[in-house]
Every structure is written in structure tokens, then in C-alpha cells.
Amino acid sequence: MSIRGFIFDLDGVLTDTAEYHYRGWKRLADELGIPFTREENEALRGIPRRESLLTLLKGRPATEEQLQEWMARKNAYYLEYIREISPADVLPGARELLEEIRAAGLKSALGSASKNAREVIERLGIAPLLDAVSDGNSVTRQKPAPDLFLHAAAQLQLSPWQCVVVEDAAAGIEAALAGGFWTIGLGPQTRVGRAHVVLPSLQDARLENLLAGLKTS
């Protein structure tokens, strides 16, 4: 085993933007008169914008023009909310792990479905700790296709078997496995149980322990 790099998902791994996505979708849903709950929002974890909107519409008919306008409206709300994001919003253990990876001479990349990922990592103050950024603008086929993580690995000039993908969404773990990556799943077994290593979060996740866990998986 020769791990040379880590690829991190953003929402649910490095920070919790799910609350802001929820508020954006909820405001749009209220305006359209569509019921939408926090529980329903959980199903949108790691799911790209357009697919999220189609899920929220629950089969209601819409023209392409309406879909575009509603996605733009939700995104404007989301951008308004993420202005609140600061370095205090990095999830526990994430910054420490990024620093450890850098100190060990390994590489780190972002692999997020979000088209707003760059703005979020700037606000979190972790952009300097990432060697490459692959986001919702980088590839056409989204998770569970492996394209986004392959794009990130290529930027790091590493092969999938040299990289670990850290993800909180089932679609993200599937994407990483399809690409031939090592995987660390954050969250319940029911969601990320297919990962090589499953942890509740990155809190107390030390690099040495993660690499040892992958070795015995």
C-alpha cells in the first residue's frame, strides 16, 4: 500500500453546508407551495443542484426555463447564507488532518459536487492547505460516476490506488469505489458502510491511525 494523497468531499466532511442548502431549498419550496422537510433534505446530501431540484419537485411538471430560474433562485439564497461562513465552521479534526497530511509530504485535493466549493473553502480559510480543487464545474458526469475524483487524482498526478477519498454520502463512496480509490466513510454504516474504513467524523482522526486502518481493511 502506497498512499500519496487524500481527496476530501466538502459538505459533511470539511464543513456542514447542508444547513445552508436546506435553508435555500426550503425558501424556494415555500415560495412554490411545495412541502419540504429537513428529513427530505438529508436525501440531497452530495446530490448535484439540478437533481436536488427534481427530487424536491416530486414529479411536478416544469419547463426547462422554470427549472433554470428555480435553480438560480435557490443558488442566490445559498450564496446569501454562506456569507456567514468563517474559519470557525471547519468541522472538528479536519484542519488538523489537512495540516498533518501536508507535514507528512502527502497531497490533498477537494472533490465536491458543489459549484460554489471554491468560495466556501476560501471563507473557511483552508484553500492554502489544498493542492488541487475539483468541483461541480470540473466534470459533466457527477457522483456516483467516478469522474470528479479521477479529475482530482489527475490534478495531483496520482493514480486512484494511491489516493484515499473521504466522503459522507453513499453516492460519493460508490463514485470512489467505481474509480478504484481507497475510501473512508463518515457517518452511519447504513449510509457509508461500503467504505474501507467507517468513522463517525474526522474528530480525533489522526493520519497514522487512518493509514493503519486502511492497511488492515
In the residue annotation, 9 being an active-site residue is answered as yes
- Cβ proximity of 21 and 11 under 8 Å: yes
Q: Work out which of 45, 107, 151, 196 binds ligand B16, going by CB under 6 A.
A: 45
Binding mask 19-58 for Mg ion (x = CB under 5 A): ---------------------------x------------
All three cell numbers of 5, joined, read 494523497
All three cell numbers of 38, joined, read 429537513
Closer to ligand B16 at the Cβ: 11 or 174? 11
Contact call for residue 47 and ligand B16 (CB under 6 A): yes
Closer to ligand B16 at the Cβ: 7 or 169? 169
- Residues in the chain, total: 217
Closer to Mg ion at the Cβ: 11 or 131? 11
**Residue 208 phi, psi dihedral angles, 5° rounding:** -55, -45
CB of 2 to ligand B16, least distance (A): 27
Q: Work out which of 7, 10, 177, 192 binds ligand B16, going by CB under 6 A.
A: 10
Give exposure, 155-180, as e/b (b: 16+ Cβ within 10 Å): bbebebebbbbbbbbbbbbbbbbbbe
- Peptide bond connecting 144 to the previous residue in cis, omega within 30 degrees of 0: yes
DSSP secondary structure of 152-189? HHHHHT--GGGEEEEESSHHHHHHHHHHT-EEEEES-H
Residues 175-194 that bind ligand B16 (CB under 6 A): none
Closer to ligand B16 at the Cβ: 26 or 45? 45
In the residue annotation, 30 being an active-site residue is answered as no
Residues 146-185 that bind Mg ion (CB under 5 A): 168-169
Binding mask 103-122 for ligand B16 (x = CB under 6 A): ---------xxxxx------
Q: Which residues are catalytic?
A: 9, 11
